[in-house]
Chain A
């Protein structure tokens, strides 16, 4: 694997893509540091795939620019792409060629690697036995695994994986998750776009969340989930406790969650929860700082911010 010359593998500024009146990506500026697994999240139509397309030179930006490995972006065919592997949306290959022949073709036009690399990648994605079967006979999971092998051709520095576990069985999902983790640990940068937020939370150190083509938030996963200030409570009467807490001025929200209460409260007020409840004869059995799931955080932030964005547009 080649060495990235700078610490930033992707840097976009004011990246915009319009299709007529529709703005698919709106003034998007973000950066991805080298190394690790970076999650690119967003609801359908949020602009993830269009953004990846612009980064890869497949989609022409209407405005702004992309820099890869600190080199100016000038469209497809630039040498930077030889340091990148990608599967975008579902993998597509020549249906009449075998899995091995497909990899051989894409390896050859990328001008690197040998037969041993193909054998190694086929083994890595568990397709050795089916390597010489035509691609059109592959199951969805096998196609997906061939897509991962394709993306890994040439041992790229930067890897885009768009829904890489789509069509895989649970065992396959676990295998791919482990593979992504190990690839990210090896110094490579992986951009993972997935709807399976549990999966993203397990493998990504950093995420960016898009909605309506705009960046809502970007940061370290643990920081994003922790700084949200959620306390998990179990009391002698959770229903009564919820009614009391929701009226406190420093409590933003109270939700039931798996027999407990999740209370959104500013960190310096959390001790006051116990006092307020005790005054009403309700006693706390358990109190801990809760880290909400990425899924819940995602739903909250995309719901709230999307609403704000729509308000801005209106």
Chain B
């Protein structure tokens, strides 16, 4: 354990001096801010406009605010809007107005605590999986590229602890990054709530729900992290690790969409795919869809992926010869 802790500490020493983790963290934080402030501005806009309807035909189409329509504010409506058109628009806007309070509550929830947290996690995890795939491939693959696996092992570092330390560091970094995202989201949420005009009441999200989602988001990162580590160690290349790690993320969604649409039996296979179960277990809408399985099923499938990819990665690394640069 002491050796493992030492290795984690000194892997951190190396990683913190590289650009890549900082760049990826900045992207992740910017995304969280985009989510909070995107919701804020949509909320402000919806409150100001009360929704919108389209007026005119062909090239002369334009959107008008429902608040102007319902207030019969002809000055804000396109020239030539007569009473008949106005009546039709008011009917449409009246229908829209019934959904506006719900939309406002959802948007308000999206930029105020605690609802902003799952909202941010949902957005950032979609990109976060790609960013963590890149970081994982870089952490493992760069060592092969620089040929530094060999001098590290020569110093007496065991192969098992060498891999375990990197995986542990990445898991800790994932937790740290999520905490930072939540922290930044919380600060922005407090600010946004302070400056917003006409707050609406009633949030559907509780703090415990937000905490559970945070934990689940971190947990679903782990099997993907192990999967990318497996690919990178197997190919001994960060480029391959990144390409396959990111490619799988996008590829699974496409394959599931196409084959699931053609063959009904494919849905049962989809229930055992990595991405589908990540989506189900995290519950934050990652990977586009959710498998039609329970949370326990998703957890067990993800656990199986983690154990299988992890075991094969360790077995390959332990038994393979370590030679020169790019061939360790």
Contacts and interface: CB of A to CB of B under 8 A. Distances in A.
Interface of A: 53, 56-60, 75-79, 81-82, 84, 86, 88-97, 101, 105-106, 108-111, 150, 153
Contact of B319 (A60, A94, A109): A60
List the 8 closest pairs (A to B, CB-CB), nearest first: A77-B158, A92-B147, A81-B156, A110-B155, A58-B322, A82-B156, A59-B321, A76-B153
A274 B214 CA distance: 96
Given A89-B324, A94-B146, A105 B156 contact: no
A150 B6 CA distance: 19
A81 B146 contact: no
A88 B155 contact: no
A106 B156 contact: no
Nearest to B160: A77
Contacts of A95: 146
B148 A81 contact: no
Given A57-B153, A77-B158, A84-B154, A92 B13 contact: no
B76 interface: no
A105 B146 CA distance: 15
- Max chain B CB contacts within 10 Å: which of A59, A75, A105? A105
B159 A76 contact: yes
B155 A109 contact: yes
Contacts of A86: 154
Contacts of A108: 6, 9-10, 13
Contacts of A78: 156
A4 B129 CA distance: 51
B161 interface: yes
Given A109-B152, A110-B156, A150-B151, A96 B17 contact: yes
B253 to A, nearest CB: 35
B155 A106 contact: yes
B18 A96 contact: yes
B17 A97 contact: yes
Contacts of A77: 153, 156-161
Contacts of A92: 146-148, 150-151, 324-325
A49 to B, nearest CB: 8
Contacts of B7: 109
Contacts of B9: 108
Contact of A109 (B6, B147, B150): B6
B324 A58 contact: no
B157 A109 contact: yes
Interface of B: 3, 6-7, 9-10, 13-14, 17-18, 146-148, 150-161, 318-325
A88 B156 CA distance: 15
9 contacts: A56-B154, A57-B153, A58-B322, A59-B323, A76-B153, A81-B154, A84-B154, A109-B152, A110-B156
Contacts of A105: 10, 13-14
A26 to B, nearest CB: 17
Nearest to B161: A77
A75 to B, nearest CB: 8
A160 to B, nearest CB: 9
Given A53-B321, A76-B153, A77-B156, 14 more contacts: A58-B321, A59-B322, A76-B159, A77-B157, A77-B161, A92-B148, A92-B151, A93-B146, A95-B146, A108-B6, A109-B6, A110-B155, A110-B156, A111-B3
Nearest to B9: A108
B18 A76 contact: no
- Max chain B CB contacts within 10 Å: which of A76, A88, A106? A76
A110 B7 CA distance: 10
A58 B146 contact: no
Nearest to A19: B321
Contacts of A111: 3, 6, 156
Contacts of B157: 76-77, 109-110
- Max chain A CB contacts within 10 Å: which of B3, B147, B319? B147
Contacts of B322: 53, 58-59, 76
- Max chain B CB contacts within 10 Å: which of A53, A58, A77, A106? A77
B14 A58 contact: no
A60 B321 contact: yes
A84 B151 CA distance: 12
A133 to B, nearest CB: 14
Contacts of A75: 159, 318
Contacts of A57: 153
Contacts of A56: 153-154
Contact of A97 (B14, B161, B318): B14
- Max chain A CB contacts within 10 Å: which of B148, B155, B158, B325? B155
Contacts of B3: 111
Contacts of B324: 89-90, 92
A94 B148 contact: yes
